[in-house]
Structure 1
Amino acid sequence: MLRKKKAAEASENINNVTTENTEQNENPLADELNVNPQGETEEAPAAEAPQLSPEEKLKADLVSANDKYLRLYAEFDNFRRRTNKERAEERQTAGKDTIAALLPVLDDFERAIKAMETATDVIPVKEGVALIQNKLKSILTSKGLKEMDTKGTPFDADIHEAITSIPAPTDDLKGKVVDELEKGYLLNDKVVRFAKVVVGA
């Protein structure tokens, strides 16, 4: 009987220890997940962003502004170089269309010179030269060139260059162009060559 009683007590002690361990380890992940006894998960406090001092903030703004300035300067420099290159190319080819249009006139002059070497009649040669001249004038007119009409017009220093003055043949020619020594030309209404004239005094 004594042995049975001791065995029963030992068995009861073992059951008590097992029950306590089970209650303590009922949820082994509870501590890691910060679970409270009611089963609600507690969030870990978020890490706060570091606060910059006024000096550090100013330094950061300065670095950002300097970076933007360098980028803008690089873009402007590239634009300037590209524009200069395009302008240089335009200057080199500005007269390309006009020169190409004048090449047929040059060909006509070469043919006329060859014809004059064996020509026995002057009249056909003169007619050929007149045709070439008219062709040249037509091409230049199509490009915006215009002859000045100066004789009998009032002297204008903006378009005329007075070579000399002579007594006016009539009173109505005083202060006007009496004679023209060299034609003046306008290109799209802008003077490309002043007319050299004689003015009546």
Structure 2
Amino acid sequence: MKSGKEHKSHDSEKEQNPAPEETTAQNATENEQETAVPADHQMPDVPNDALSKTEEELSEMKDKYLRLYSEFDNFRRRTAKERQDLIKSANQDMMLALLPVMDDLDRAKAAIETATDINAVKEGLELIFNKLTNVLQQKGLKPMEATGQPFDADLHEAITQTPAGDDMKGKIVDEIEKGYYLNDKVIRFAKVIIGA
């Protein structure tokens, strides 16, 4: 027979170290309490009518998206084609305006072969040159005045320098190739000689 002290010590060991089955059951209960979803956060039951209505709306949105995408694709193709056509025919107006000048040059060429008066040929070429200049000015082409002007790297291209008087230092002494503006934009820089 065991003494009272031994019995008490055995009971106190049980309290300190509970059985493994009791520990697992206790942990499982605690885990369930931690992971349990509160009643206000649970997924509501969706009625079939609402679900089918949502599916219909989704189908309509997909249809609208596909239509919009195809309309945009058609628009993109059409504008690309129009841009290509515009590039191809961009010079048409200019060519039509230059055709009368070409006709005059053809007539002048034929007249030169049989002409005996050099002054008449000279006057004819002068008229054709003036006509060409007028057509080009109507289309926005304007010659650049460079001789005697201060050198400007935004407008002029210096070919060389030449000794010049004090009044022409840093200025353009001579113009090798004329510069041109098209609607106030430089399309060709003037090639010039600068006074040094």
Q: Under a length normalisation based on structure 2, what TM-score does the superposition of the two structures give?
A: 0.70
Give the corresponding residue for 2:179: 184
Q: CA RMSD, aligned part only?
A: 1.9
The reply to whether residue 129 of structure 1 matches residue 125 of structure 2 is yes
Structure 2 CA distance for aligned equivalents of residues 175 and 70 of structure 1: 66
Gaps of 5+ in 2: 1-46
Matches within 5 A, 1:1-201: 50-53=48-51, 59-167=55-163, 169-201=164-196
Gaps of 5+ in 1: 1-48
SS in 2 for 1:192: strand
Structure 2 CA distance for aligned equivalents of residues 147 and 163 of structure 1: 19
SS in 2 for 1:52: helix
Structure 1 CA distance for aligned equivalents of residues 158 and 53 of structure 2: 73
SS in 2 for 1:153: coil
Query: Which amino acid in the other structure matches residue 119 of structure 2?
Result: I
Task: Summarize the Cα distance change of 1:52–1:191 in structure 2 as closer, same or farther, 3 Å threshold.
Answer: same
Q: Which has the higher Rg, Structure 1 or Structure 2?
A: 1
Greater helix share, structure number: 2
- Bigger shift: residues 98-107 or 58-67: 58-67
Map Cα deviations across residues 130-160 of structure 1 (whole Å, 9 max, x no partner): 1110110011111111000001111112121
Report deviation, 1:176: 1.6
Report deviation, 1:64: 3.4
Query: Which amino acid in the other structure matches residue 119 of structure 1?
Result: A
SS in 2 for 1:151: coil
SS in 2 for 1:67: helix
Query: Which amino acid in the other structure matches residue 49 of structure 2?
Result: Q
Task: Summarize the Cα distance change of 1:199–1:57 in structure 2 as closer, same or farther, 3 Å threshold.
Answer: farther
Map Cα deviations across residues 37-57 of structure 1 (whole Å, 9 max, x no partner): xxxxxxxxxxxx95334xx66
Structure 2 CA distance for aligned equivalents of residues 177 and 66 of structure 1: 69
Structure 1 CA distance for aligned equivalents of residues 170 and 183 of structure 2: 27
Query: Which amino acid in the other structure matches residue 78 of structure 1?
Result: N
Report deviation, 1:61: 4.6
Report deviation, 1:104: 0.9
Identity within the alignment, % = 59
Structure 2 CA distance for aligned equivalents of residues 177 and 75 of structure 1: 58
Map Cα deviations across residues 7-29 of structure 1 (whole Å, 9 max, x no partner): xxxxxxxxxxxxxxxxxxxxxxx
Query: Which amino acid in the other structure matches residue 192 of structure 2?
Result: V
